[in-house]
Structure 1
Amino acid sequence: MKLHVSIHDIPVTENTNDLQLETSVARAREEHEALKNELRSIYEQACVVRNDPEEKRLNREIRQLHDCVKLFMKHWAAHTQWEESELFPQAATFLGAEPDLFLLMEQEYELADQYLRTFMRALEKARYPIGHEEASKMASYLIQAYAVLNNRFREEDEIMLDLTDRSNAYGF
């Protein structure tokens, strides 16, 4: 007795595509909220590092920041891989746009990734204790990454809203 049906056994119809898109949009919103919360925490910690004159505390904070950035990068990489392989192609099809529409997003992601990786490399090469000026410079990379990603998430949220509005207009 078969207890489940493989998604590949279900005939693809317009309703199936709509359901897949609706599910993808819900997932994107959920993941964006989690990523934005992580990113906001990194930003706040980076601001603390930039403004903390006490070297011992600053060094402890920057090591904690390293751990947060590493975890964020893991979550973000999984999210972007999913977006590129599933969400963006679905959205492009639904919106009637070329997948190249999302090329700018990918470029901005690469820019933010460079800032994050520059922070990680700088921290790995740093000699402890790290001075205030050096820590401030490292934190600046994270603040730049925050600015790029915060803008990117806002624009993606607008696309999700557009997808939802259009699908609702068609009664899906």
Structure 2
Amino acid sequence: MEASNVILSAPLQQLKDEHVSLREEMNHIYEIIEEIEFESGSAVIQEFARLYERILDFNIKLKSHSTKEDDWLFPMMASHLGENDKTIEVMEFEHEKAEQHLRDFLTEAEQARPIVDEDEAQAIAVYAVQAYATLIQHFDREEKVLFPLAEKILSAGEKEELERRFRS
């Protein structure tokens, strides 16, 4: 089954659509990281402050998205998949890994504030790079594997339930 040919139901399409805006935000974050990497002096400090604010905002949006999957989609799918199927386990692990990288970034940045030097800023930004890399792969895996699988195994009633929960 080729994922791109699968027509997703409304709640699964909503999750996929949320990836678009999250990716755009991640790309802006990555551009700031590159500035931190290639600039020097006060420009690095200014960019780091921008990065911190962007990640604070992004983290809220990501948590909202992840909650829909962790609390509703994954448990629904798990009830259809056999005990030996690791699909949901892998997805949950990737969520935890990305969230941990973001937490590490925010924790280190807060501990380094209010005065962050150039080397600290570049070192702390590595956590943001790790979160970015994890999420790019994760979104791709969800879109190519998880969402088409969910479309196939979830009943019409379960999809309606997801849609109802996403609206509330």
Q: TM-score range by the shorter chain?
A: 0.7 to 0.9
Question: Match for 2:31: what amino acid?
Answer: E
Q: CA deviation at 1:113?
A: 1.2
Q: Which residue number corresponds to residue 111 of structure 1?
A: 97
Q: Which residue number corresponds to residue 152 of structure 1?
A: 138
Q: Which residue number corresponds to residue 22 of structure 1?
A: 9
TM-score (norm 2): 0.75
Residues 122 and 138 in structure 1, CA contact (< 8 A), matched pair in contact too: yes
Q: CA RMSD in A?
A: 2.2
Which structure 1 segments of 5+ residues have no match? 1-20, 168-172
Residues 38 and 72 in structure 1, CA contact (< 8 A), matched pair in contact too: yes
Which structure 2 segments of 5+ residues have no match? 1-7, 154-168
Q: Which residue number corresponds to residue 83 of structure 1?
A: 69
Q: CA deviation at 1:112?
A: 1.4
Q: CA deviation at 1:90?
A: 4.1
Question: Match for 2:81: what amino acid?
Answer: A
Say which one has the larger Rg: 1
Structure 1 runs of 4+ off > 6 angstroms?
Answer: none
> Using the alignment, how far apart are the partners of 2:113 and 2:64 within structure 1?
31
Aligned residue-pair number: 143
TM-score (norm 1): 0.74
> Using the alignment, how far apart are the partners of 2:75 and 2:107 within structure 1?
33
Question: Match for 2:23: what amino acid?
Answer: K
> Using the alignment, how far apart are the partners of 1:36 and 1:91 within structure 2?
24
Q: CA deviation at 1:86?
A: 2.2
Residues 24 and 87 in structure 1, CA contact (< 8 A), matched pair in contact too: no
Question: Match for 1:113: what amino acid?
Answer: E
